Amino acid sequence: MFIENQGSNVVSLQVSRYGDIPVGEDFVTDGAHPFLIKNNTEERVQVKIVDAEGCAIDTWLDSGWNPEIVYKLIKAPEGLQWGY
């Protein structure tokens, strides 16, 4: 059984693969999977992400896992991890 979003993309309620995001670089996962971002810092951080529509938007990430589905992170700050 698979869970699909409104765009018919398969989504997961749990993170089963994850890793560190290199600081200062644009980031996409191997295979270009959409991913979630975990902020491991104590502070909110502002980032620029590319969403499912291909739009680059600025957003704030709170500490912990954030709900935004991301296709690309632009110039990553320190303390972030990816997961899907």
In sequence order, what DSSP letters do the residues of 10-63 get, joined into one string? EE-SS---EEEPPTTS-B--GGG--BEEEE-SSS-EEEEEE-TTS-EEEEEE-S
What's the pLDDT tens digit per position in 15-36? 889 999 999 999 998 877 899 9
Question: Which residue range(s) make up the domain with 61?
Answer: 3-83
Predicted pLDDT of residue 24: 96
What's the pLDDT tens digit per position in 44-70? 999 999 998 899 999 999 999 998 999
Total domain count, the chain: 1
More confident residue, 16 or 4: 16
Q: Which range among 3-7, 21-25, 50-54, 78-82 shows the weakest confidence by mean pLDDT?
A: 3-7
Model confidence, pTM: 0.82
Query: In the predicted model, is pLDDT for residue 75 greater than 80?
Result: yes
